[in-house]
């Protein structure tokens, strides 16, 4: 079912396992806008993982006493400068960075941009990782992940995030096809701009007689 959250368990295929000495609880998001463009962070790094340019979802560690929704809103404001609607939780990916003996618990959300503002990047994000924003179509994002899988770290990131991106696209397409406007068009036989202006409202608030018919239930 589309509404079922993903639960993916991955191993580190790039570095040999020795031991795990800490878990990291992480909030991440597939972020998109009204036009269907997706937003990611690009990092240029040269550290223990090697020299690499990576694409990754915005997100980061959940702070003590912080719930996941608060964490993802904070991270997206810091890294992308956006306020968002948290649409749903996509799922959890458990993976490992054997090089630093870490188990990652990645909680992924689907978020739609409501407004843009200023970023609040840390000094490390600016000076060590040269963090910047990537705005890409779905197809461009898939290609970027595949291209950046030419390094060990890039491969681990792509293995973790491409299934999440694919599911996000499915959820977005389903939301569009089930929107009140699309329902009104389907019932009225209208293939163009329908009279109904309730694309963004909840079913209970919609005054369109076509949409309020008992034949439609979401």
* Averaged pLDDT for residues 152-168: 98
Instruction: Decide: 196 and 210 in contact? Cβ < 8 Å.
Output: yes
Give me the count of residues in the chain: 218
Q: Is the pLDDT of residue 213 over 70?
A: no
Which domains does the chain carry? Answer: 6-176 (3.90.79.10), 178-218 (no CATH)
pLDDT at 197 > cutoff 70: no
Distance CA 88, CA 170 (A): 13
Using the predicted structure, report yes or no on whether residue 113 has a pLDDT greater than 50.
yes
How much is the pLDDT for 132?
96
**Segment 80-92, tens digit of pLDDT:** 999 999 999 999 9
């Amino acid at each position: 079912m589309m509404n079922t959250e993903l639960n993916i368990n991955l191993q580190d295929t790039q570095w040999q396992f020795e031991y795990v000495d800490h878990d990291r609880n992480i909030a991440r998001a597939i972020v998109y806008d009204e036009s269907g463009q997706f937003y990611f962070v690009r990092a240029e790094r040269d550290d223990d993982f090697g020299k690499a340019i990576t694409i990754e979802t915005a997100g980061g560690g959940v702070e003590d006493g912080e719930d996941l929704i608060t964490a993802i809103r904070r991270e997206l404001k810091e890294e992308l400068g956006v306020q968002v609607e948290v649409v749903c939780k996509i799922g959890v990916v458990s993976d490992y960075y054997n090089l630093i003996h870490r188990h990652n618990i990645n909680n992924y959300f689907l978020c739609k941009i409501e407004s843009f503002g200023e970023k609040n990047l840390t000094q490390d994000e600016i000076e060590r990782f040269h963090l910047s924003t990537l705005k890409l179509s779905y197809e461009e994002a898939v290609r970027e992940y595949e291209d950046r899988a030419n390094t060990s770290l890039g491969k681990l990131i792509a293995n973790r995030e491409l299934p999440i991106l694919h599911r996000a696209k499915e959820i977005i397409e389903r939301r569009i096809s089930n929107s009140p406007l699309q329902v009104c068009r389907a019932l009225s036989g209208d293939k163009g701009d329908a009279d109904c202006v309730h694309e963004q409202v909840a079913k209970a608030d919609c005054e369109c007689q076509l949409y309020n018919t008992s034949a439609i239930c979401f």
